[in-house]
Structure 1
Amino acid sequence: MTDTASVAEAPEKRGSSARWLALAVIALAQLMVVLDATIVTIALPFAQRDLDISDSNKQWMLTAYTLIFGGLLLLGGRMADYLGRRRIFMVGLIGFAAASALAGLAQNGAQLFAGRGLQGAFAALLAPAALSLLSVTFTEAKERATAFSIFAGISAGGAAIGLLAGGALTEYASWRWTLLVNTPIAIIALVGALTFVVRDVPAPRTGGYDVPGAITVTLGLIAIVYGFSRAAEAGWTSAGTLGLLALGVVLLAVFVAVEQRSSNPLLPLRIPGEVNRGGALLVALLVPIAMFAMFLFLSFYFQNTLGYTPLKAGVAFLPFPIGIAISAGITSSLLPRFGPRPLMLTGAVLGVIGLLWLAQLSFGDGYALSVLPAQSLIALGMGPLFVGMQAVALHQVEERDSGVASALLNAAQQVGGAVGTALLTTISVQVAKNYVIDNQGLGDLTARASIHSYDVAFYVGAGFFLAAVAVVALMIRDKPENLIEGAEEGVKVPMTV
């Protein structure tokens, strides 16, 4: 092994092609993790019928993944720091492949939910390791901006790609392949990781794993996410929902107290405490709430209202990843010049306009004039938001904290997605019921009530984008030269080849 100063330059010495091949491997793994949150959405009714899953339990096909994923991300990030990012990345790939096979071959609901939970657990290892590997692989400013834009585009567009892939696999193969497809992809990524991803030296560990902190934050996040998910079925004022949310808040308060006193904290509070990173993390929490509103209710609109097949419904989402790819590419060239603040503001404002446009859906509207323009605006806004958010959340983070910082960013997005699904589903159900009561005798009442409920959900989603505008305006203060300086410095991680 060479000394720290020389091995820190290993990514550059390996050559540009090796770094970009490593990015391809990391991006493939990230795509698999992100799209798995939505790829089963279109397949859910088919799995429910085949495995005889009750209506009250069908939500677990979605929430078993997001609950465990969000709850274990901080621990996964710290394990990546202490045990090696490349090592944890490969363990995550192996476990994700096995869990996907278990879920895809399930013979009953319990096996399916167990497989989805295990997918979430290994995704909690995989996601923070992938993002921190990206930070240490690209240390030159221009290349780093390009790599982050590619990664951000995949992170933002993966949910829509999941809907497209889920529709195609469900229609032409089986709902089981929405899960089984991950196994060969993970194996390919594992071979690529062994070949192209640089082996890093773990950060020195002077203490334990902060077990009290790991337990309290994991259980706290699970309680909150489960509470929000349960609200969609039991209501916001039910004893179970309020009890879970209260328990989650108490456990997270205990977690903060533990971290303040721990000599080796799971989450050093200096990470979210810095104003720019704190703002980026708040944006990471708010944006998925609105995003999941769009995916969830447009999926219903396409299939239930417009009568689209699963594949056609997936194709209808294609403008979203295309728009993100375009805007993320443009953002990568503008970020070093203008900095993150104006770009993120532009993205959030486009999100507000797009969801307000979607909220004008009415009975008899079609796709081309009502959905497509609004969806395109939101997609163009997501590139600047995600590229800027990820760059700010991770820049100038100390090497020993890069894994946990990546995990915190991912956790904010997962919790935001779960909050959005539960909150907006609950609102839309109540709005639809009230519409039916108030409009008895109206023709096509069920369809009209559904569209009205989607509109209200889109308005609420626009409100969360508006909150993101305020957060960016008040908290993202980095100047372009500061961001470039942080990118040039990189995350100095000892490497060995």
Structure 2
Amino acid sequence: MNPTDTTQSSSRGLALGVLCAMQLMIVLDGTIVTVALPTIQNELGFSQSGLSWVVNSYLIAFAGLLLLSGRLGDLIGSKKVFLGGLVTFTAASLVCGVANSEGLLIAGRFAQGVGAALASAVVLGMIVGLYPEPGKQAKAMGIYSFVSAGGASVGLIAGGVITESLGWHWVFLVNLPIGVVAFLAGIKLLATTDGLGLRAGADAIGAILVTGGLSLGVFTISQVSEPSQSAGRLLTYGAISIVLLAGFVLRQAKASRPLLALRIFRNREISGANIVVILVFAAGFGFQFLNALYLQRVLGFDSMQTGLAFLPAPLVIGTMSLFFSVKLTVRYGTRRVLLTGLAALAVGLVLLSRAPVDGNYWQHVMPTLIIQGFGMGLAVPAVMMRAMSGAAPEDAGLASGLNSTAQQSGAAVGLAVLATVATSRSNSLLDKGAENVSALRDGYSLAFLFSAAFVALGFLATYFILKDAPKAEPLPEAAPEAAPALDGRQDAVSAQNTAQSTARAAGETVAAK
């Protein structure tokens, strides 16, 4: 290898390191923060449903702004959007780290979601640009995926260690040195690309409508169990949310450059797969939130023990996703693998719902985490491939963007629903004179059954909507010819799902109170 090639390879490797550093912060934030939530609740006085907003505010911003962020990458250039997202995320982490009230922390978390959406929407497309050669590109994607999965596992442990030794503020402040170094390196190392120009247009109105509608909808669900909220007020909130989301749909039907072209929903495969995605992520994310509550509020685990307790799930998810899922899909087809994964996930959730007040981790929790990890490790990659395989080449980016939004929206809505179910059940039992620990356990158990019901609905949707396919649909690497036809946004979000879906399943997990 001549010196020029060596220098170029080193420069690209450092640039890849910058992109991976941002992804590491995003993934760490999904787990390191959630393990610290019980301490945050005690110090800032969050209610159970209110605490979910520390997670939901982040997810809502991420979901609502992902499509607009990708479009901005097309208009002004990927590097500018990535660095803007990096700065926003880092600054928001500082706000969260110094927060001394519920409102300030939730605002900071929303801003973190904005930064994550900006960077995440373009980072995978930038990796594709760095490594256009198929072999090197696959290796780069492998490194990126390893950082995602590894960061998820590290975050589980680090969240407990940092909270116990330094305090919850530092789970946010730890992002500052990473963000500063990545920003300074990114200015020098990342290639500047010209965008189409702002005159090409971005549907800001559509982004405002979908973000506002989703935010208000999740807020309404989370407030059902709050005695301070009247039925009339909640109905009003719900009606406004529906109007905003309906306005988004109408806007997309008429906009010249919509964030989400509605023609995509005519495709039965894509629509069905995204229904399953919403249900799976609603069940998976909400379950992790409540399982952490069971471990800490019922079994008495501290933050560090909770982080370690969850390790079997991401380890099994990663093992199944990376080493077995694709092989099984090639042999049996996505539909069969997806059905098997959903069945295992539902079984694990039902078993966890039977965990008693005086349960034993090794007997009542760890086996269910392994079963659920097995199910998620099969189901998530299969449903991602299924959602993408149903799209025509010209709609690949559109389908991928829809899928990303379905993941984040499902997680936010699922968390709100399940937290509300658990709180309502526990409060009802407490009013009847039940002991606090027993009431908490029964509330969590009912929510676990609701999670299992979400998965069961996903199983039925897969069985009745998705067609049988004896072999796997073409993997993303099998269609490099289509890449030039896609714009920057499409490249980014298309790559994003396959590399990040496992990280979301294993990474945006342990939310506790």
> TM class, shorter-chain normalised?
0.7 to 0.9
Which residue of structure 2 aligns with residue 471 of structure 1?
Answer: 461
Return 32-41 or 310-319, whichever deviates more: 32-41
- Out of 306, 326, 331, the residue aligned to residue 313 of structure 1 is 306
Q: Do the aligned partners of residues 350 and 185 (structure 1) sit closer, same or farther apart at CA in structure 2, a change above 3 Å counting?
A: farther
Q: Which residue of 2 aligns with 1:7?
A: none
Equivalent residues in 2 for 1:271-350, closer than 5 Å: 271-330=264-323, 331-336=325-330, 338-350=332-344
Distance in 1 separating the partners of 2:186 and 2:125: 14
Q: Name the CA distance, whole Å, in 1 between partners of 2:13 and 2:321.
A: 17
Deviation, structure 1 residue 179: 0.7
1:356 aligns with 2:350: yes
Distance in 2 of aligned mates of 1:137 and 1:386: 27
Q: Match of 2:164?
A: 171
CA contact (8 A) 1:141 1:487 kept: no
Map residues 2-401 of structure 1 onto 2, 5 A cutoff: 26-50=19-43, 58-133=51-126, 162-190=155-183, 202=195, 207-233=200-226, 238-330=231-323, 331-336=325-330, 338-394=332-388
The answer as to whether partners of 1:288 and 1:420 remain within 8 angstroms in 2 is yes
In the alignment, the residues of structure 2 paired with residue 320 and residue 490 of structure 1 have an alpha-carbon distance, to the nearest angstrom, of 35
Cα 1:429/1:119, change in 2 over 3 Å: same
| C-alpha contact (below 8 Å) 1:216/1:254 kept by paired residues | yes
Find the aligned partners of 2:215 and 2:276 in 1 and give their Cα distance.
20
Measured in 1, the distance between the counterparts of 2:284 and 2:213 equals 24
Q: How has the CA–CA distance of structure 1 residues 369 and 146 changed in structure 2, closer, same or farther, with 3 Å as cutoff? A: farther
Match of 1:422 among 404, 416, 423: 416
SS of equivalent to 2:113: helix
For 1:400 and 1:198, locate their aligned partners in 2 and report how far apart those are by CA, in whole Å.
Answer: 26
Amino acid at match of 1:414: Q
CA gap 1:85/1:354 in 2 versus in 1, 3 angstroms: farther
Query: Following TM superposition, by how much is the alpha carbon of 1:232 offset from its aligned partner in structure 2, in angstroms?
Result: 4.5
Q: Deviations over 1:151-190 (max 9, x none)?
A: 6787688767544332221001110111111223334544
Return the offset for 1:466: 1.4
Aligned equivalents of 2:48, 2:293: Cα separation in 1: 16
Of 412, 428, 432, 2:426 maps to 432
Give deviations 1:248-275, integer Å, cap 9, x for gaps: 2222222222211222212222345433
Corresponding letter in the other structure for 2:454? F
Alignment partners' CA distance in 1, 2:188 and 2:375: 35
Shifted more, 338-347 versus 232-241: the winner is: 232-241
Question: Equivalent residue of 2:83, what SS?
Answer: helix
Give the Cα–Cα distance (whole angstroms) in 2 for the partners of residues 19 and 332 of structure 1: 29
Aligned equivalents of 1:464, 1:337: Cα separation in 2: 27
Distance (Å, rounded) in 2 between the aligned partners of 1:304 and 1:85: 44
**Alignment partner, residue 472 of structure 2:** 480
Question: Between the two proteins, what is the percent identity of the paired residues?
Answer: 35
Shift of 1:468: 1.7
Distance 2:308 2:20 in 1: 22
Q: Provide, for residues 185-208 of structure 1, a one-character-per-residue CA deviation record: whole Å limited to 9, x for no partner.
A: 334544675677666564688742
Deviation larger for 203-212 or 38-47: 203-212
Is 1:459 aligned with 2:449? yes
Q: TM-score w.r.t. structure 2 length?
A: 0.79
3-state SS of paired residue (1:40)? helix
Seen in structure 2, the aligned counterparts of structure 1 residues 306 and 354 have a Cα distance that, compared at 3 Å, is same
C-alpha deviations, 1:428-469, integer Å up to 9, x for none?
22222444566x5x7xx3222222222211111011111222
Contact 1:74 1:404 in 2 (8 A): no
SS of the residue 2:300 aligns to: coil
CA deviations over 1:301-340 (Å, ceiling 9, x no partner): 2212222221111110111111111011122444455543
Structure 1 stretch displaced more, 355-364 or 179-188 = 179-188
Note the C-alpha offset of 1:471: 2.7
Displacement of 1:100 after TM fit?
0.6
Q: Secondary structure at the match of 2:34?
A: coil
- Residue matched to 2:483: 491
**SS state of the match for residue 94, structure 1?**
helix
Aligned in 2, Cα 1:470/1:51: closer, same or farther, shift over 3 Å?
closer
User: SS state of the match for residue 39, structure 1?
Assistant: helix
- 2:361 is aligned with what amino acid? Y
State the distance in 1 between where 2:83 and 2:420 align. Answer: 38
- Closer, same or farther: CA 164–413 of 1 in aligned 2, 3 Å: farther
- Distance change >3 Å, CA 135–CA 65, structure 1 → 2: same
Deviation at residue 247 of structure 1 after TM alignment: 1.6
- Give the superposition deviation at 1:240: 3.0
- SS of the aligned residue for 1:175 comes to coil
Q: TM-score, with normalisation over the residues of structure 1? A: 0.82
**8 A contact 1:267–1:404 mirrored in 2:** yes
| Conserved? CA contact 1:76–1:124, under 8 Å | yes
> Any unmatched runs of 5+ in structure 1?
1-13
SS of the aligned residue for 2:403 comes to helix
Q: Which amino acid aligns with 1:480?
A: A
Partner AA of 1:475 in structure 2: L
Deviations 1:115-141 (A, max 9, x none): 222112112212222344466667788
2:439 aligns with 449
Aligned partners of 1:34 and 1:155 also within 8 Å: yes
**Distance apart, 1:107 and its partner CA:** 4.2
Equivalents in 2 of 1:401, 1:196: separation in Å? 32
Aligned residues: 477
Tell me, in whole angstroms, the C-alpha distance in 2 between the residues paired with 1:383 and 1:26: 25
Bigger drift between 145-154 and 184-193 goes to 145-154
Structure-2 separation of matches of 1:123 and 1:75: 12
SS at match of 1:41: helix
Deviation at 1:221, TM superposition (A): 1.9
- CA change 1:57–1:289 in 2 (3 A) is closer
Residue identity in the other structure for 1:223: L
